[in-house]
């Protein structure tokens, strides 16, 4: 008999698989973890295929140490997804697989114990197998019990035989048992009666069960999108399927988790995000893999959860930039989710008040189906959005007279206000008026931000910290000042102006852990706060029923930013932050302080008219040939010196010339806007095409050619497909 050879994905930055000998390997081991010798150590990889041949002479092949059969193999569709991501994002397959696995499963540790939970039922193959089994065997007794008693939990199975738990993996693998669908218990919070738009949306999506269709569920905050998801999930559970629900932020998961588990107390809910302890993450992944999870809720990495019974995918706030990974394999979880829905022939719902223009354009073109929720589910009225023209007014602590009066009025009425300033810290820079010194970060093209609360200067890019100096480091002048305004300074000003008010600041400094964040939210909800000061952290996904005023400071910069996506992000942010107000019976008001009150962005915002905003933006993008009218990839390089980075990119550009890339435009290498970061110089080169297949074909060959070159030792580079940052 010829020896089996396994082809293994290993977590190394090389775009290839590694072959090993494995006598005991068989086709059923595809998708299993394997321990192999690598250099002088050991690595845990995943078997992608098993064959009898290798391009490497058999004499040079090493033997695998052990195939780990302690968990079900990763299914073929999961491996195909990793393969897709690897190809699409031009990233080595081994790293793509490693990224998709929880860290604990990339080591040889004992697997975490899956808690006693979940229910099982007998499958048709199990029924067929039963008569042939020795009658008194544990397997036969288990199957017989399931046959007569229906679905049983692990605990109940243990009463049949104490050794049952040990037998479960084997029986599952044989396909004799299957995880039983969630038991929809009564006692759940009752769903509300849907509004007409919601009803139509649920019906349209439910009609797509069992096949691929992409839906854009467009509706402002509070229009009942989540309720639509929940009612769809209910149908999924009733059909014995699994639902995957992606959300942008870790901070948002507990709240949604609570809502989901209140609605479906009998369903097995797994939440997956990078904030979990490693053991919990691995357990969640294994529960999803074994089919013992009915609902997987999580941030971008949960798109890689294995889901044997997947029936529905939901991506909430689909426009959110956090769905795009910004390091390593720069994947978009939203886009992978769409691919996956197609692969598995299930519907996908992309929900948003302010969809990404890519998604919006797809809906306009009919590739996605647009479903609109046209009004709020509870509060009827939308907040009134007004621009305060700051050219005509002297600002006090950055606030206009209008805003200050409005804040005072809310205080009198016992209502809450929010002042939104997307800049944390006390002031963006410390400066010496005598000699012109400013607090620059020595490692970055950025200023050190003043944090007066703990008297530190901090770089928000590289994390460098210093004490606030008592005097100017260059001329010794003791009269140095913070310039500009961040949330801490605004908080201080509000406390001074409204001594009777309870002011609370919410940003990444005050809420750096989920625990702190929840403590802050609790104090808002229990009415212990009159004025909130915060960054965009506050903008997302929270109901503040007594909040009736939102003031927006310093939003203008994004109107004229070099990044063509800046207006899109600003619009989304302001819609979101505005959506915090007036959610209950009290009408809300949003005041945007601006020097450009007639700017179309603010006008469409005031009219709550996303469609008009999107149409204007898309027209501009079409003219400029920007996405979604073209597809882009960015090659970035970082090195100790800028000229090294630029030279590398220039060489790469020339390599591309030989690949006859007619439909692909390659731009010049340019320094990045924040070109120095943590003592490294950064440059980038954009490639673009109207045709995605042309771009993909080019990238595959181009990246291979770049890899074949020897880059300078101190230089690092990466490719970012569909980049969001410029």
User: For Zn ion, which stretch binds (CB under 5 A), given 166-174, 371-379, 467-475, 492-500?
Assistant: 467-475
C-beta of 12 vs 462, nearer to Zn ion: 462
3-state SS, one letter per residue, for 184-226: CCCCCCCCCCCCHHHHHHHHHHHCCCCCCEEEEEEECCCCCHH
Q: In this structure, are strands 416-420 and 631-639 parallel, antiparallel, or unpaired?
A: unpaired
In the complex with ligand ADP, the residue whose CB is nearer, 206 or 655, is: 206
CA distance 617 to 319: 15
Q: Is 445 in the site for Zn ion (CB under 5 A)?
A: no
Q: Is the Cβ–Cβ distance between 92 and 86 less than 8 Å?
A: yes
219 binds, among Zn ion, ligand ADP, none (CB under 5 to 8 A by kind): ligand ADP
Enclosing H/E stretch for 676: strand 670-677
Largest CA distance in the chain: 94
Which of 198/283 has CB closer to ligand ADP?
A: 198
432 binds, options ligand ADP, Zn ion, none, Cβ within 5 to 8 A by partner type: Zn ion
Using the rule CB under 5 A, is 664 a contact of Zn ion?
Answer: no
Compute the least distance from the CB of residue 237 to ligand ADP, in Å.
Answer: 18
The nearer residue to ligand ADP, 189 or 326, going by C-beta atoms, is 189
Partner residues linked to 298 by β-bridges: 246, 272
Nearest Cα to 503, choosing from 529, 481, 527? 529
- Minimal distance in Å, beta carbon 372 to ligand ADP? 12
* List of residues 6+ apart from 282 with CB closer than 8 A: 102, 103, 104, 105, 111, 112
Q: Which does 183 bind (CB under 5 to 8 A by kind): Zn ion, ligand ADP, none?
A: none
Name the binder of 221 from Zn ion, ligand ADP, none, CB < 5-8 A by kind: ligand ADP
Rounded Cα distance, 343 and 205, in Å: 17
Q: Can you read off the two tokens belonging to residue 639?
A: 């090195």
Give the span between the Cα atoms of 139 and 142, in whole angstroms. 5
Span of 8-16, 464-472, 487-495, 624-632 interacting with Zn ion by CB under 5 A: 464-472
Please report the DSSP string for 106-124 in residue order: GS-SPPPPPPS--EEEE-H
According to DSSP, residue 579 is labeled T
Question: Is there binding between residue 592 and Zn ion (CB under 5 A)?
Answer: no
Specify whether the CB–CB gap between 488 and 453 falls below 8 A: yes
715 binds Zn ion (CB under 5 A): no
User: Given candidates 462, 561, 700, 705, which one binds Zn ion under the rule CB under 5 A?
Assistant: 462
CA–CA separation, 329 vs 83, rounded Å?
12
Q: What is the DSSP letter of 60?
A: G
* Residue 333 preceded by cis peptide, ω within 30: no
Q: Which of 58, 128, 435, 670 binds Zn ion (CB under 5 A)?
A: 435
Q: Nearer to ligand ADP by C-beta: 217 or 686? A: 217
Contact 85, 91 (CB under 8 A): yes
Task: Name the minimum Å distance from CB 348 to ligand ADP.
Answer: 17
Question: Under the criterion CB under 5 A, does residue 637 sit at the interface with Zn ion?
Answer: no
Contact indicator for 502, 528 with CB cutoff of 8 Å: yes
* 457 near Zn ion, rule: CB under 5 A: no
- The distance of closest approach from Cβ of residue 583 to ligand ADP in the complex, given in angstroms and rounded to an integer, is 8
CB of 541 to ligand ADP, least distance (A): 7
Nearest-approach distance from CB 673 to ligand ADP, in angstroms: 34
Q: What angle do CA 429, 434, 439 make, to 5 degrees?
A: 25
Smallest distance from Zn ion to CB 439, Å: 11
Residue 399 DSSP one-character state:
B
Q: What is the CA radius of gyration of the chain?
A: 28
Contacts of 194 (CB under 8 A, 6+ apart): 202, 224, 227, 228, 231
Of 161-180, which residues contact Zn ion (CB under 5 A)? none
The interface with Zn ion within residues 185-214 (CB under 5 A) comprises none
Task: Indicate the residue among 198 and 356 with the shorter CB distance to ligand ADP.
Answer: 198
Minimum distance, C-beta of residue 339 to ligand ADP, in the bound complex (Å): 25
Place of tokens 């942008």: 248
Q: Should residue 64 be labelled a site residue for Zn ion when binding is judged by CB under 5 A?
A: no
Q: Does 444 bind Zn ion (CB under 5 A)?
A: yes
Choose from ligand ADP, Zn ion, none: what does 192 bind? Cβ within 5-8 Å by kind: ligand ADP
Stretch that binds Zn ion, among 51-59, 413-421, 435-443, 601-609 (CB under 5 A): 435-443
Residue 464 Cβ, how far from ligand ADP at the closest point, in Å?
Answer: 39
Instruction: Tell whether residue 437 is a contact of Zn ion (CB under 5 A).
Output: yes
Of the pair 71, 256, the CB lying nearest ligand ADP is at 256
Helices (H) and strands (E) counted in the chain, each on its own, are 20, 31
Residue 475 binds Zn ion, judged by CB under 5 A: yes
Q: What are phi and psi of 272, to 5 degrees?
A: -130, 120
> Nearer Cβ to Zn ion, position 240 or 469?
469
Shortest distance in whole angstroms from residue 245 CB to ligand ADP: 12
* Span interacting with Zn ion, options 58-66, 438-446, 539-547, 606-614, rule CB under 5 A: 438-446
Tell me how far apart the alpha carbons of residues 176 and 664 are, in angstroms, rounded to a whole number.
Answer: 53
In terms of Cβ atoms closer than 10 Å to its own Cβ (0-12, 13-18, 19+), residue 173 is: middle
CB 206 to ligand ADP: min, Å? 16
Exposure of 241 in the CB half-sphere (CA atoms within 13 A):
19
195 binds, among Zn ion, ligand ADP, none (CB under 5 to 8 A by kind): ligand ADP
CA atoms within 13 A on the CB side of 426: 17
Binder of residue 434, out of Zn ion, ligand ADP, none (CB less than 5 to 8 A by kind): Zn ion
Under a CB-based contact definition with an 8 Å cutoff, are residues 97 and 34 in contact? Answer: no
444 binds, among ligand ADP, Zn ion, none (CB under 5 to 8 A by kind): Zn ion
Q: Which does 224 bind (CB under 5 to 8 A by kind): Zn ion, ligand ADP, none?
A: ligand ADP
Residue 462 interacting partner from ligand ADP, Zn ion, none (CB closer than 5 to 8 Å by kind): Zn ion
Q: What is the spatial distance between Cα 533 and Cα 514, in angstroms, rounded to a whole number?
A: 18
Nearer to ligand ADP, 484 or 545 (CB): 545
Minimum distance from CB of 679 to Zn ion (Å)? 8
List of residues contacting ligand ADP (CB under 6 A)? 192-195, 198, 219, 221-227, 377-378
* Site for Zn ion, rule CB under 5 A: 432, 434-435, 437, 441, 443-444, 459, 461-462, 464, 472, 474-475, 477
């Amino acid at each position: 008999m010829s020896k089996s050879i396994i082809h293994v994905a290993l977590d190394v930055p090389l775009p290839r698989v590694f072959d090993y000998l494995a006598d005991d390997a068989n086709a059923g081991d595809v998708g299993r973890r394997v321990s192999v010798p690598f250099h002088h150590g050991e690595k845990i990889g995943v078997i992608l295929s098993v064959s009898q041949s290798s391009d490497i002479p058999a004499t040079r092949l090493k033997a695998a140490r052990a195939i780990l059969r302690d968990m079900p193999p990763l299914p073929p569709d999961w491996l195909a997804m990793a393969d897709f991501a690897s190809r699409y994002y031009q990233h080595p397959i081994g790293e793509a697989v490693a990224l998709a696995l929880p860290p604990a499963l990339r080591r040889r540790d004992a697997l975490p114990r899956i808690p006693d939970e979940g229910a099982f039922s007998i499958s048709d193959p199990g029924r067929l197998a039963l008569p042939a089994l020795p009658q008194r065997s544990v397997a036969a007794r288990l199957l017989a019990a399931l046959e007569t008693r229906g679905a049983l939990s692990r605990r109940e199975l243990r009463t049949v035989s104490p050794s049952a738990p040990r037998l479960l993996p084997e029986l599952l693998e044989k396909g004799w048992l299957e995880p039983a669908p969630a038991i929809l218990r009564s006692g759940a919070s009752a769903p509300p009666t849907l509004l007409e738009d919601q009803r139509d949306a649920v019906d349209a999506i439910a009609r797509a069960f069992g096949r691929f269709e992409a839906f854009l569920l467009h509706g402002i905050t509070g229009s009942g999108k989540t309720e639509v998801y929940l009612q769809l999930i209910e149908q999924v559970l009733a059909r014995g399927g699994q639902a995957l629900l992606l959300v942008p932020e870790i901070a948002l998961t507990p709240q949604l988790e609570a809502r989901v588990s209140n609605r479906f107390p009998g369903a097995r809910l797994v939440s997956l995000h990078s904030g979990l302890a490693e053991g919990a993450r691995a357990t969640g992944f294994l529960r999803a893999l074994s089919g013992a999870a009915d609902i997987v809720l999580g941030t971008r990495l949960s798109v890689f959860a294995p889901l044997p019974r997947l029936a529905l995918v939901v991506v909430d706030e689909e426009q959110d930039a956090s769905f795009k990974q910004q390091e390593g394999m720069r994947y978009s979880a939203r886009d992978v989710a769409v691919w996956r829905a197609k692969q598995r022939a299930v519907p996908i719902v992309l929900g948003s008040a302010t969809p990404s223009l890519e998604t919006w354009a797809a809906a306009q073109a009919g590739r996605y189906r647009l479903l609109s929720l046209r009004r709020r589910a509870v509060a009827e009225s939308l907040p009134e959005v007004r621009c305060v023209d700051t050219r005509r007014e002297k600002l006090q602590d950055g606030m206009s007279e209008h805003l200050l009066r409005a804040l005072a009025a809310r205080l009198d009425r016992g209502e809450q206000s929010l002042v939104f300033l997307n800049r944390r810290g006390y002031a963006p820079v410390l400066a010496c008026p005598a000699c012109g010194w400013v607090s620059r970060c020595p490692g970055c093209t950025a200023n050190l931000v003043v944090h007066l609360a703990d008297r530190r200067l901090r770089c928000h890019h590289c994390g460098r910290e210093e004490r606030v100096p008592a005097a100017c480091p260059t001329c010794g002048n003791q009269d140095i000042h913070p310039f500009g305004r961040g949330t801490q300074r605004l908080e201080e000003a509000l406390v001074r102006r409204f001594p009777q008010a309870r002011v609370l600041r919410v940003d990444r400094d005050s809420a750096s852990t989920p625990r702190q964040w929840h403590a802050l939210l609790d104090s808002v909800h229990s009415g212990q706060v009159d004025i909130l000061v915060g960054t965009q952290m506050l903008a997302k996904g929270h109901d503040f029923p007594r909040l009736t005023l939102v003031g927006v400071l310093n939003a203008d910069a994004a109107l004229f930013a070099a990044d063509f996506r800046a207006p899109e992000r600003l619009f989304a942010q302001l819609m979101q932050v505005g959506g915090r107000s007036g959610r209950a019976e009290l009408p809300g008001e949003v005041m945007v302080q601006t020097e450009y009150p007639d700017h179309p962005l603010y006008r469409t915002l005031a009219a709550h008219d996303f469609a008009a905003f999107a149409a204007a933006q898309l027209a501009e993008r079409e003219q400029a040939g920007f996405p979604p009218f073209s597809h882009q990839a960015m090659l970035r390089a970082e090195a100790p010196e800028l000229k090294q980075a630029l030279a590398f990119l220039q060489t790469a550009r020339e390599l591309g010339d030989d690949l006859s890339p007619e439909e692909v435009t390659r731009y010049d290498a340019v320094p990045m806007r924040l070109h120095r970061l943590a003592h490294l110089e950064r440059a980038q080169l954009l490639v673009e095409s109207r045709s995605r297949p042309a771009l993909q074909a080019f990238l595959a060959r181009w990246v291979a050619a770049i890899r074949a070159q020897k880059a300078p030792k101190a230089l690092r580079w990466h490719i970012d497909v569909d980049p969001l940052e410029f």
